[in-house]
Amino acid sequence: MAAQDKYCFERDKKESERLDVQHRVLVRTSGDTLIHPSIPVEDIRSVADIATGTGIWLRDLKKSLDTPQVDRYYHGFDISSEQFPENPGAIQYSVHDLTVPFPQEHWGRYDLVHVRLLVAALEESDYKAAIANISRILKPGGHLQWEEIDAVTYLTKGYPVLSELYRCFDYGLTAEGKCFQASAKVYEETRAAGFVGVERLCYDSHKIPDLHHDVEERLTAIIRTLYAFLLLRSKQVDTAEVASQEAENLAEEHRRQCAEGNSPPLKLMRVVGQKPLYPSSL
pLDDT digits (tens, 9 = 90+) for 232-268: 999 999 999 999 999 999 999 999 999 999 999 999 9
- CA angle in degrees (0–180, nearest 5) for 200-49-186: 30
Q: Is residue 7 a part of any domain in this protein?
A: no
Q: Is residue 4 a part of any domain in this protein?
A: no
Structural domain harbouring 233: 13-275
Q: Is residue 197 a part of any domain in this protein?
A: yes
Picking from 143, 149, 144, 121, the residue whose alpha carbon sits closest to that of residue 26 is 149
Q: Is residue 41 a part of any domain in this protein?
A: yes
Picking from 21, 34, 270, 234, the residue whose alpha carbon sits closest to that of residue 147 is 270
Sheet order of strands, 267-274 included:
92-95, 73-78, 46-50, 110-116, 138-148, 267-274, 196-204
Cβ(184)–Cβ(146) below 8 Å:
no
Picking from 100, 105, 101, the residue whose alpha carbon sits closest to that of residue 92 is 105
Cβ(199)–Cβ(272) below 8 Å:
yes
User: What does the pLDDT look like over 58-115, one tens digit per residue?
Assistant: 999 999 999 888 999 999 999 999 999 999 999 999 999 999 999 999 999 999 999 9
Q: Is residue 280 a part of any domain in this protein?
A: no
Number of domains into which the chain is organized: 1
Q: Is residue 266 a part of any domain in this protein?
A: yes
Cβ(93)–Cβ(75) below 8 Å:
yes
Q: Is residue 213 a part of any domain in this protein?
A: yes
CATH code of residue 24? 3.40.50.150
Query: For 159-178, what is the mean pLDDT?
Result: 96
Between these two residues, 16 and 166, which has the higher pLDDT value? 166
Q: Is residue 260 a part of any domain in this protein?
A: yes
User: What does the pLDDT look like over 100-155, one tens digit per residue?
Assistant: 999 999 999 999 999 999 999 999 999 999 999 999 999 999 999 999 999 999 99
Picking from 163, 247, 261, the residue whose alpha carbon sits closest to that of residue 212 is 261
